[in-house]
Structure formats: C-alpha cells, structure tokens
Structure 1
Amino acid sequence: MAKTTKSKTTQSKTSRPKSARPSRPAAKKPAAKRRGTAPRPAAAAADSSTLERIARALEGISAHLAGTSAQPAAATLASAEAFIWHPEGRLAPVPKVSRVELDLLQGIDRMRDTLIDNTERFATGLPANNALLWGARGMGKSSLVKAAHAHVNARPDVAGTLKLIEIHREDIESLPALMTLLRESDDRFIVFCDDLSFDGNDASYKSLKAVLEGGIEGRPDNVILYATSNRRHLLAREMVENERSTAINPGEAVEEKVSLSDRFGLWLGFHKCSQDEFLTMVRGYCDHYGIRVDDEQLEREALEWSTTRGSRSGRVAWQFVQDLAGRMKVRLGGK
C-alpha cells in the first residue's frame, strides 16, 4: 500500500511541466453588447416625439390650472368661425362645419324663429338668454344651433364676429377656464354643448351652474351657452334620489334638479313629428338636391323606410334621402 501511494505521488509531480510559471490572469475581453441596448434611430425619434407630446400636455394643463391659454387667443380666434375646445386649454379651429341649411329644417318653425331671434339679439350686443333645446332624438336640435349661427353670422352688421365653440360633455369641468379665455376677446361666442346630461355621481354639473349664474365672475357678457339634451331636466332621476336620501330637507333635492335647467332662460321643446311633417321633410330635401321621383312612389318608400326604423324624425328623413339619392345616382352637393 505504501509503494502504491508513493508511485502516485511521484507520477503527479513528474506530470507537471518543468518550466511552468504562475499564469497571468487572462485579459478581459470587451463585454459583448446586449441585443437591443443600442438606441435605434426610429426608437429614439419615437421617444423624442413622446417626450414632446408629454411636455405640451403638461404646458396645457398648467395653462388650464392658471386659467390661461397655451397659445395666443387673438391669433387663434381669427383663424376660423368655429372651434372645438380641448380641456388642456386649446381651441382647435374647424375649417368646415358640418351643418344643414336653415331652410331645410322643417317642422320646427317656432323653435327656429325663437332661437334665431335670441341669437340675433346676442350677436348685436342686446340682452339674450342661454338656451336649452330638449326633446325627441333626431328632430334637429343640434342642426338648428349650427344653422342659426351660420345665418346670423352672415348678417352685414355681424360680419363673422360671432364664433361657435363646441365643448364636449365630458369636458364641462373645464368650462370656467374657457370663460376666462373668452372674457377679454372683442368677439362674441356661442358655447355649444351637444347631448348634455348628468348621471351617477357626476358632480361636474356644479361647474356649469356656477358659470351660467351664481358664481363670483358669472358668465362673460360676450358669451352665451346653447345646449341640447334629450331630457328637460339635465340631472338623472337616480342623482336626485341620492340627494333626497341625504338631504335634511328632501325638497332641496328637487330644487337642485330644477335649478340647473332654470339657468337656461330659454327652453325649446322638440317633439316627434307627424306623418305629414315627415313627408314634408323628405320632399324638402328632394327639391333642394334635385331628386326627381314620382310623388306617390316617394311617399310610399319614405313611409316604408320610417316603419322599418320604428320612428319618424328629421334624421330618419335625411337617411332615407341619402339612400334614395344613392340608388338614383344623384350627388348631394358637397356631402
């Protein structure tokens, strides 16, 4: 056993090279670049674009909180007659407004005349009321607001100084900032909100109330508010019931419901049209766009169309005329 151990030891010693020196640590190779770490030009440009958008958004929010615009108001307002309001404090010009000519709005003569009279008084510096256009869907509430603006703005004594600004329902909380922006302008403004109503726990209606009347600053003299809604009272029933359950005096909840609509001095109700009014709308469109069709056939097809839609309204009449014009290869002007 001893001999075997000794021979293994001798063999181990003789197996090493005689000239063996202490090995130097191997030189470190340059670290291999990981894939994807080098910035690509397209990715860098995208990052830069994202940062610029974030910076612009932050500037807009800061301007909104300060009650000022992030762009020169005078230069912007001179660029168009209609605008879309963005809550970060920006007015986006609308080069061409989607509107129906005033003469084509049939079956709403009383509402049309009342709103035009109110708009003319406001545009010429006379007292006028905020207007709430409420009622049946598709009966021309929004179309009337846009048509009335165009009609009054074409008057020689107004000459394009009446601006139309649309604010979306979800941006109502930024309405005070918009009022601050418009207050110092020499122009006059219709601030228009389409399909206005409030549901659930939405408390933004309080901003609307303060702007219309009751706030310290109130509504600027050069601004009027036109709103459309399917409801006569803008607050949903469940909102009023919630207020009633927590109010010391339950009658206060009902007053809250009515008081918001009361801020609009002019109420214009739109109701479903009769069959004769529906056919008058259809014939008016056909005459205006030069669609020649036998009157008996026109009446039969129009009534069949309204039956399949389950309603009669100005919107349904226009949809039928679009279908009829397409079948007869008639172009509807610039539409």
Structure 2
Amino acid sequence: MAPTPLEAPDFSAASAFVWHVEPDRLSPVAAVNRVDLPLLVGIDRSRDTLLDNTRRFARGFGANNALLWGSRGMGKSSLVKAVHGAVHADYPILKIVELQREDLPSVARLLALLRAAPYRFLLFCDDLSFSHDDQHYKSLKAVLDGGIEGRPENVVFYATSNRRHLMPRDMIENERSSAINPSEAVEEKVSLSDRFGLWLGFHPCTQDEYLSMIDGYCAAYGVRADPETLRAEAIEWQATRGARSGRVAWQFFVDLAGRHDVAVS
C-alpha cells in the first residue's frame, strides 16, 4: 500500500532540475534560461560576493545560504542563474535545483534525495515571501538549519525576495502593536531572514547604468544603432514604463532587436 520510493534521476544528464510534487520528481532542464554574467551591470559587489561563495561551495569548502533582496527587475534571479552557469563551467559537479515556494512543505523529501547524490546542489527559490497566515516558513527552516540531521553538506540555499524580512512591513508592525509581548510576536518569522549568512541588497539603477545595460546587450547580439537615437529611445521607453531597471532595459532591447531583424534567444 505504500508508495514506491522515489528514485533519484540521472543527475549527470543535466546541470539544472526543477522539483515537482504529486508525484515527487526532479525534472531535468535541457537549456537554462539565463544571461551571461558580464551582461549584468550595476550589481558588481553582489555579483562578486555570490560568485565567490558559489565557487567555494562547488570546491567543497564552507559557503553560506544567500538571500538576494530588493528592487524588482534588478537581476536577482538572473544573477543566481548566471553565477551557476559560470561556476558549473569550471565545476560540473555543481547542479541547480529550482524549488517553488508553494512546494516548501516537501523540502524534507527533496533534501533526503539530494543528500545521497554524489553532486553539489544549489537549491534555488525565486520570489520567496510569506503572508500573515502562511506556515510555509516553518518548512524553510529545514533547509536553513536542518534540524537534528543538519542541512546536507552538499546543498546550499539561495532565495530571492522583494522583501528583506520575507514578509510585508505592515504585517510586522501590526503584530508588534497587537501582541502581548511585541518582540516575541514577530521574532520567529523575522528571524528567518537572519538564518541566511549572506544578505545581498539590490537597489534601483541609475540612468547611466540603465543605458550601459542596453549597450551591453547591443554589443553581445550585434545590434547597431545610432548612439543618440538609441539613448533618446531608451530614455523614452523607461519614462513610459515609469521604472528603470535591468528588466526594463532588457524589454527595450528585445523591442530594439526586433526592429533591427535580430533574433534574441
């Protein structure tokens, strides 16, 4: 009557996998959707820190779990994937496994599967955050602390979030104002972010950085345009979007490349 034990996939078949539940399985990803590391502009400090941490982990040395937090569209998830790609090229033993936030309750089963494999795994959760009545954060502690068994030596956890403490500030303030002991009321949830050894902040880019991103894409894909016209169109594009970020820069470039009959993969 018991379900068949989950079998590990052929980890040598791919560098990236996605975790699914019902039924539990790791699906290989044939081609990871990523950009090259040199194309990520304006996040040099975070890039170097995460790259060094990941390289040390791939070599079998100490490395921290990392929380990449901050402004939307500034390359948090792109950096994780780009860093994995750069390190994997030198250390094929490093694999990346994507885990959805709603699947956090199954993380103990996933860790048991990864623990037994002769590879090193970067466990990645994109856009991680919790609402007022969300209990998934308790499952996350199994990844960060590991309980009695401890986090597997061959697994490190990277997460991205728009929130530094993984939850809305108004929820934190509400619990502080309504609880009998304000400090204890939010300590359990807020302290979750303290379990990440690395906090890497991402902030809105300057106009020069925004334009540099576009110039980098143009050079990488061979798109040639008049510099003054390109600058004017790029500034108009970000003005109509009401935002300036790496995502907006990429969206403008995709439009530009299409107008120049250049295919963008």
**Do 2:73 and 2:246's aligned partners in 1 also have CA atoms closer than 8 Å?**
yes
Hey, what's the Cα distance between the residues in 2 that align with 1:253 and 1:241?
A: 10
Hey, what's the Cα distance between the residues in 2 that align with 1:238 and 1:107?
A: 30
Deviation at 1:200, TM superposition (A): 2.8
Correspondence for 1:52: none
Cα distance per residue 1:32-69 (max 9 Å; x no partner):
xxxxxxxxxxxxxxxxxxxxxxxxxx97xx46xxxx52
Deviation at 1:244, TM superposition (A): 4.7
Residues 1:105 and 2:40 are matched in the alignment: yes
Please give the secondary structure, in 2, of the residue aligned with 1:269.
strand
Residues 1:86 and 2:86 are matched in the alignment: no
- Please give the residue correspondences for 1:18-97 in structure 2 after superposition, counting only pairs within 5 Å: 62=3, 69=6, 71=7, 73=8, 75-87=9-21, 88-97=23-32
Correspondence for 2:80: 145
* Residue from 208, 214, 232 that aligns with 1:276: 208
**Do 2:137 and 2:189's aligned partners in 1 also have CA atoms closer than 8 Å?**
no
**Do 2:107 and 2:142's aligned partners in 1 also have CA atoms closer than 8 Å?**
no
**Do 2:19 and 2:97's aligned partners in 1 also have CA atoms closer than 8 Å?**
yes
Correspondence for 1:256: 188
Please give the secondary structure, in 2, of the residue aligned with 1:164.
strand
Cα distance per residue 1:249-299 (max 9 Å; x no partner):
221123223310011100000000000110000111111111111111110
Hey, what's the Cα distance between the residues in 2 that align with 1:238 and 1:288?
A: 43
Hey, what's the Cα distance between the residues in 1 that align with 2:263 and 2:220?
A: 12
Relative contact order, CA 8 A, sep 6+: which one is greater?
2
Residue type at the aligned position of 2:20: H
Larger Rg: 1 or 2? Answer: 1
Moved more, 168-177 or 214-223: 214-223
Residues 1:199 and 2:134 are matched in the alignment: no
Hey, what's the Cα distance between the residues in 2 that align with 1:76 and 1:208?
A: 26
**Do 1:165 and 1:191's aligned partners in 2 also have CA atoms closer than 8 Å?**
yes
The verdict on how the C-alpha distance between 1:197 and 1:107 changes in structure 2, with shifts beyond 3 A counting, is: same
**Do 2:37 and 2:82's aligned partners in 1 also have CA atoms closer than 8 Å?**
yes
For these two proteins, the number of residue pairs brought into alignment is: 264
Residue type at the aligned position of 1:183: R
Deviation at 1:186, TM superposition (A): 1.1
Residue type at the aligned position of 1:289: Y
Residues 1:115 and 2:50 are matched in the alignment: yes
Residues 1:267 and 2:202 are matched in the alignment: no
**Do 1:241 and 1:253's aligned partners in 2 also have CA atoms closer than 8 Å?**
no
* Residue from 170, 175, 189 that aligns with 2:107: 175
Please give the secondary structure, in 2, of the residue aligned with 1:134.
strand
Hey, what's the Cα distance between the residues in 2 that align with 1:246 and 1:311?
A: 36
Moved more, 178-187 or 231-240: 231-240
Correspondence for 1:293: 225
Please give the secondary structure, in 1, of the residue aligned with 2:130.
coil
Please give the secondary structure, in 2, of the residue aligned with 1:138.
coil
Structure 1 runs, 4 residues or longer, greater than 4 Å off? 241-248
Please list every run of 5 or more consecutive structure 1 residues that lacks an aligned counterpart in the other structure.
1-57
Correspondence for 1:210: 142
Identity fraction in percent? 64
**Do 2:39 and 2:216's aligned partners in 1 also have CA atoms closer than 8 Å?**
yes
Residue type at the aligned position of 2:29: V
Please list every run of 5 or more consecutive structure 2 residues that lacks an aligned counterpart in the other structure.
none
Deviation at 1:93, TM superposition (A): 0.5
Deviation at 1:243, TM superposition (A): 5.2
The verdict on how the C-alpha distance between 1:194 and 1:207 changes in structure 2, with shifts beyond 3 A counting, is: same
The verdict on how the C-alpha distance between 1:181 and 1:322 changes in structure 2, with shifts beyond 3 A counting, is: same
Deviation at 1:97, TM superposition (A): 0.5
